């Protein structure tokens, strides 16, 4: 009997449940997709270069779990609000409280199971499409990757089943605590309107002050560091809630007192609606603005990370290819590229060290990156090595206890260690030395040659440079008999591109999930008061107000409610992106793309909310 009643209730309220279902399906499908990346050790084991993105998607799963918990709790409380009168009537007609609570529990879990089934199917499709795009974009092997990954499915099913069971129990406990009269007459509770003027003034000043401190901490995070991050998080959050709790109601009251604006059209009614509603909405509007900051911020940061790959790679090294003892095939491949600079140096290697000729180096000084001067620059600063070498021999990478020659000057050490080697252990830990002509000729060892190449576009010649790096790695490993972790410019680009691409995808889908659930939460809160507003709109219709005028009033009222948290949330994003300034060279690169995407999603939810609200409050005739 309870099961039949539950199915009947879900069918009857499908329009309201549909909003919740969409948010849940988005969350479940994205969670499953994250798990296919985070848990699939076979895929990452076969692709060492992408092992780092497991951490990225793991973090994304944790963040998504927290926001989904909040969303489900809030959405279920909304659905309980919509059904309180019906459930109260069941009790008035003799149904036991425990049975009604069981009915609510079955509905909550049942709806969750439907969302879980659809969400996993969508998730498998999403993982298939997104996985292929990600793998193709990173140019790695797809071996081991499966869109249908059983451990990911089990993790998703277990997590969300527990979540639905817990929220079902919470809903049932909430119901058991209310009497039949409280449930039936809850619509008649009045909204709080007036607040103490002193309280409003104090909290408004505090809100602006806290927000100012938070923004200052974010802008100067490089100086304040960890303390700045903590202060920014606390002050920005508290300031946001104070702003919505005091400044926003004050702003609406001031609009209401403006006679010219208030008496135009139906503005008097619209602003009165806002004035009554804004106090009860202040907490959720503050929460929504913070969720907008998190959601749009995740999308913006993810895209910024991906867009910064090329710039960051340019700071790592100057030369695009470092070729030791180039063979015929490599010489042929070099001819396929547009080379803008080429340097060739002979060197000798014996059992003791690796020697470079001072005369060759001074005749052809290499370029290095000036890291100190480039700290605040968005473009790499290249300088030609200009330091003199008056001593007969210099050394680098030598243990202090065995060092018998003076240390190499800073610029030359940077060139030899960073630009001349493909890996820190390319020569098996041997020191690098610069010797004058006399000492260089005395060295007994094998003669080698080094070629440094700069091309016009690193990404354009990625396949060729990757092949060259692979052959250089194989030769180095054969010479020293151990693994050689590559540190060339192309390898740095590949590692960063892989990690940043994973971060971009995670940020995009995490942000989209946040925004979908955030907008749904705001939608639920607005629709909660629809039953009380219905009588007001019916009264206006009876006294002759046209339906079109009422419709425009609803568009305007809901627009204001969506507008305020949207503005504050985007302001948080624009200021908050400065937090990434110590990681990214340009955290604001192409920021218009994620902001535009956010605006599109937000407007879509605004339109859906207006249509649902109109359907609930406007008379049918």
- Rounded CA-CA distance 320/452 in Å is 8
- Rounded CA-CA distance 18/51 in Å is 38
Cα of 16 vs its chain's centroid, Å: 29
Query: In the predicted model, is pLDDT for residue 188 greater than 60?
Result: no
Query: In the predicted model, is pLDDT for residue 375 greater than 50?
Result: no
- Rounded CA-CA distance 356/433 in Å is 6
Cβ-Cβ contacts under 8 Å for 211 (sequence gap 6 or more)? 235, 236, 239, 240, 243
Torsion angles phi and psi, residue 332, rounded to 5? -65, -40
User: Tens digits of per-residue pLDDT, 25-73?
Assistant: 888 888 888 788 777 776 665 555 556 566 667 777 777 777 777 777 7
State the pTM of this model.
0.68
Half-sphere CA count of 161, side-chain side, radius 13 A: 8
pLDDT at 78: 67
If we measure between CA atoms, which residue out of 422, 387, 390, 418 comes closest to residue 406? 390
- Rounded CA-CA distance 111/23 in Å is 12
User: Tens digits of per-residue pLDDT, 478-520?
Assistant: 888 888 888 888 888 887 777 777 677 777 777 777 777 777 7
Most confident of 233-237, 271-275, 411-415: 411-415
Span 283-297, average pLDDT: 78
Half-sphere CA count of 481, side-chain side, radius 13 A: 0
Sign of the Cα torsion 310, 312, 318, 321 reads negative
User: Tens digits of per-residue pLDDT, 421-446?
Assistant: 988 888 888 899 999 999 999 999 89
If we measure between CA atoms, which residue out of 86, 224, 68, 95 comes closest to residue 161? 68
Query: In the predicted model, is pLDDT for residue 378 greater than 70?
Result: no
Beta strands at 321-324 and 432-435: parallel, antiparallel or unpaired: unpaired
User: Tens digits of per-residue pLDDT, 120-156?
Assistant: 898 888 888 877 776 666 555 556 667 788 888 898 8
pLDDT at 207: 84
Most confident of 213-222, 388-397, 598-607: 388-397
Q: Does residue 195 come out as left (phi exceeding 0), alpha (psi in the -120 to 50 range) or beta?
A: beta
Q: How many residues belong to the chain? A: 621
339 vs 227, which has greater pLDDT? 339
The 3-state DSSP class for residue 434 equals strand
Query: In the predicted model, is pLDDT for residue 374 greater than 80?
Result: no
Query: In the predicted model, is pLDDT for residue 355 greater than 90?
Result: yes
Q: What is the largest CA-CA distance in the chain?
A: 108
540 vs 465, which has greater pLDDT? 465
- Rounded CA-CA distance 5/11 in Å is 10
pLDDT at 14: 65
User: Would you place residue 340 in the very low, low, confident or very high pLDDT band (cuts 50, 70, 90)?
Assistant: very high
């Amino acid at each position: 009997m309870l099961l039949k009643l539950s199915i009947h209730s879900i069918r009857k309220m499908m329009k309201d449940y549909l909003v919740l279902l969409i948010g849940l399906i988005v969350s479940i499908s994205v969670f499953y997709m994250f798990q296919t990346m985070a848990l699939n050790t076979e895929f990452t084991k076969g692709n060492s270069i992408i092992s780092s993105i497991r951490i990225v998607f793991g973090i994304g799963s944790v963040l998504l779990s927290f926001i989904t918990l909040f969303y489900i709790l809030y959405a279920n409380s909304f659905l309980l609000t919509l059904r309180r009168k019906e459930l109260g009537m069941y009790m008035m007609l003799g149904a036991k409280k425990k049975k009604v609570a069981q009915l609510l529990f079955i509905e909550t879990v049942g709806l969750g199971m439907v969302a879980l089934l659809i969400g996993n199917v969508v998730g498998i499709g999403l993982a298939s499409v997104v996985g292929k795009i990600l793998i193709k974009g990173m140019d790695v092997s797809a071996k081991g990757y499966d869109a249908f990954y059983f451990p990911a499915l089990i993790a998703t099913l277990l997590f969300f089943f527990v979540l639905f069971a817990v929220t079902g129990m919470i809903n049932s406990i909430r119901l058991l605590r209310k009497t039949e009269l409280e449930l039936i007459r809850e619509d008649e509770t009045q909204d709080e309107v007036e607040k103490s003027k002193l309280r409003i003034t104090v909290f408004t000043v505090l809100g602006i002050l806290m927000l100012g401190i938070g923004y200052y901490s974010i802008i100067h995070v490089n100086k304040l560091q960890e303390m700045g991050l903590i202060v920014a998080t606390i002050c920005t959050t508290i300031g946001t809630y104070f702003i919505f709790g005091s400044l926003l109601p004050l702003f609406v009251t001031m609009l209401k007192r403006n006679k010219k604006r208030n008496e135009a059209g139906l503005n008097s009614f619209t602003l009165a609606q806002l004035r009554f509603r804004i106090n009860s909405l202040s907490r959720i509007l503050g929460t929504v603005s913070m969720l907008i900051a998190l959601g749009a911020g995740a999308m913006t940061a993810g895209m910024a990370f991906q867009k910064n790959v090329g710039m960051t790679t340019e700071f790592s090294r100057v030369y695009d290819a470092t070729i030791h003892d180039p063979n015929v095939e490599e010489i042929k491949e070099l001819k396929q590229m547009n080379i803008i600079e080429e340097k060739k140096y002979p060197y000798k290697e014996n059992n003791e060290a690796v020697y470079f000729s001072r005369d060759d180096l001074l005749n052809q000084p290499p370029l290095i990156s000036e890291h100190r001067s480039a700290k605040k620059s968005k473009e790499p600063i290249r300088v030609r090595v200009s330091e003199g070498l008056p001593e007969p021999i210099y050394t680098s990478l030598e243990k202090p206890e065995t060092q018998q020659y003076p240390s190499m000057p800073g610029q030359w050490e940077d060139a030899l260690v960073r630009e001349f080697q493909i890996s820190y252990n390319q020569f098996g830990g041997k020191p690098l030395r610069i010797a004058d002509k006399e000492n260089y000729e005395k060295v007994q060892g094998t003669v080698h040659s080094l070629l440094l190449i700069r091309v016009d576009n690193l990404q354009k010649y990625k396949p060729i440079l990757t092949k060259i790096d692979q052959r250089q790695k194989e030769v180095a490993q054969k010479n020293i008999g151990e693994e050689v972790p590559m540190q060339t410019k192309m390898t740095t680009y590949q590692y960063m591109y892989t990690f940043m691409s994973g971060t971009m995808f995670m940020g995009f889908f995490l942000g989209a999930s946040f925004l979908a659930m955030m907008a749904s939460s705001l939608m639920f809160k607005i629709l909660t008061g629809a039953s009380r507003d219905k009588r007001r709109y019916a009264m206006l219709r009876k006294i002759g107000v046209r339906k079109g005028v009422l419709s425009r009033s609803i568009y305007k009222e809901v627009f204001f409610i969506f507008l305020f948290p949207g503005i504050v949330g985007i302001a948080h994003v624009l200021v908050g992106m400065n937090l990434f300034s110590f990681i990214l060279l340009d955290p604001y690169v192409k920021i218009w793309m994620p902001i535009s995407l956010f605006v599109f999603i937000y407007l879509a939810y605004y339109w859906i909310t207006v249509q649902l609200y109109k359907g609930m409050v406007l008379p049918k005739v």
